[in-house]
Amino acid sequence: MKQSVKLIVGNWKMNGLGASLAEAEVLKDALEADPAACRVVLCPPATLIERMARLLGGGAVETGGQDCHDEPSGAFTGSVSAEMLADAGARLVILGHSESRASFAETDAGVAAKVETALAAGLEPIICVGETLEQRDAGEAIDVVSRQIAGSLPVSLTGQPFAVAYEPIWAIGTGRTPTLEEIEAMHRAVRAAMLKRLGAGGAAAPILYGGSVKPGNAAEILAVPEVGGALVGGASLKAEDFLGIIRGT
Ligand code: PEP
């Protein structure tokens, strides 16, 4: 079976000032000189999207947002709409990240509403799911992510470009990762839940793994069946680290 190109997404979270764009520039230059075997996206904070998108020029590295509101516009002080992200130059958007789900008490239905708004704005959603350590220890990981997929993926995704990111919450920013066998089992379960939810529409979208991906473990994780890429936090902040992951694809 043909292996599709991996999708490697960097999530800068609430990190990065204007000076940090130098890292994006190093990345762009490196990938223009020696093109990646994968698709590469950087998701800076909203304040940097426009400048980063202009700097990157939509070439070797694409730009994405980290979240958006579920309404297209209105009296929502402090929020950013999907259309605003697209207008600033974003082409993708991370939705339902566990940090957003926790900080803003986001429900699966709320994430699904954001996905609809993102699609309407022409953005490619990256929808995050993942279990807590307590849920994993209780043997509930597959049930939890299957429920999240059933609730967070609207049927309107069928036929649209999108990705799902499986991110065990206990692996995010902790330096801990599941075993390769655990990653494979979870990715197979995520695919099954996507097929159940979207039918054939859930067959092709890549399933990214996220949680303490680094240059030293990226290649083996990316070689696991059904791992279609990676969502990378801390190791995407420095071009050198992120390149180490990208070169592992
Ligand atoms: C993330 O931000 O989604 C993430 C996986 O972070 P880290 O790579 O730092 O664990």
| CATH number of the domain to which 42 belongs | 3.20.20.70
Q: Which amino acid is at 62?
A: E
Confirm whether 129 is domain-assigned: no
pTM of the model: 0.97
Q: What is the CA angle 211-31-65, rounded to 5?
A: 50
Q: What is the CA angle 50-53-57, rounded to 5?
A: 145
Q: Is 140 labeled as catalytic in the residue annotation?
A: no
Q: Which atom of ligand 1 is nearest to the CA of 165?
A: 3
**Cα 156 to ligand 1 centroid, rounded to whole Å:** 27
> What is the CB neighbour count within 10 angstroms for residue 51?
16
Query: Is the CB of 173 within 6 Å of ligand 1?
Result: yes
Confirm whether 100 is domain-assigned: no
- Residue-number span of the structural domain to which 229 is assigned: 6-85+105-113+139-246
Query: Is the CB of 10 within 6 Å of ligand 1?
Result: no
Given a contact cutoff of 8 angstroms between Cβ atoms, the answer to whether 9 and 64 are in contact is yes
Query: Is the CB of 232 within 6 Å of ligand 1?
Result: yes
- Testing ligand 1's pocket by substitution, the residue of 97, 129, 172 carrying the most ligand atoms inside 8 A of its CB is 172
Beta bridge partners of 11: 43
Q: What is the pLDDT of residue 3?
A: 58
As given in the structure block, the two tokens for residue 25 are 């520039």
- Confidence category of residue 29, pLDDT binned at 50, 70, 90: very high
At 112-147, the pLDDT tens digits run 999 999 999 999 999 999 999 999 999 999 999 999
Q: Is 97 labeled as catalytic in the residue annotation?
A: yes
Confirm whether 120 is domain-assigned: no
Confirm whether 125 is domain-assigned: no
Confirm whether 171 is domain-assigned: yes
Mention every residue, 6+ apart, whose C-beta is less than 8 A from residue 41.
Answer: 7, 8, 9, 10, 61, 62, 63, 64, 91, 92
Q: How far apart are CA 63 and CA 10, in angstroms?
A: 9
Percent of the chain with pLDDT over 70: 99
Query: Is the CB of 112 within 6 Å of ligand 1?
Result: no
Determine which one of 83, 131, 167, 187 is catalytic.
167
Q: How many domains does the chain have?
A: 1
Q: What is the pLDDT of residue 247?
A: 94
As given in the structure block, the two tokens for residue 208 are 């990214």
As given in the structure block, the two tokens for residue 74 are 């209105």
Confirm whether 223 is domain-assigned: yes
**Cα 217 to ligand 1 centroid, rounded to whole Å:** 14
Q: How far apart are CA 18 and CA 149, in angstroms?
A: 36
3-state secondary structure of 175: coil
**Cα 75 to ligand 1 centroid, rounded to whole Å:** 31
Mention every residue, 6+ apart, whose C-beta is less than 8 A from residue 78.
Answer: none
For ligand 1, atom 6, the nearest C-alpha belongs to: 233
Query: Is the CB of 84 within 6 Å of ligand 1?
Result: no
At 88-121, the pLDDT tens digits run 999 999 999 999 999 999 999 999 999 999 999 9
Confirm whether 99 is domain-assigned: no
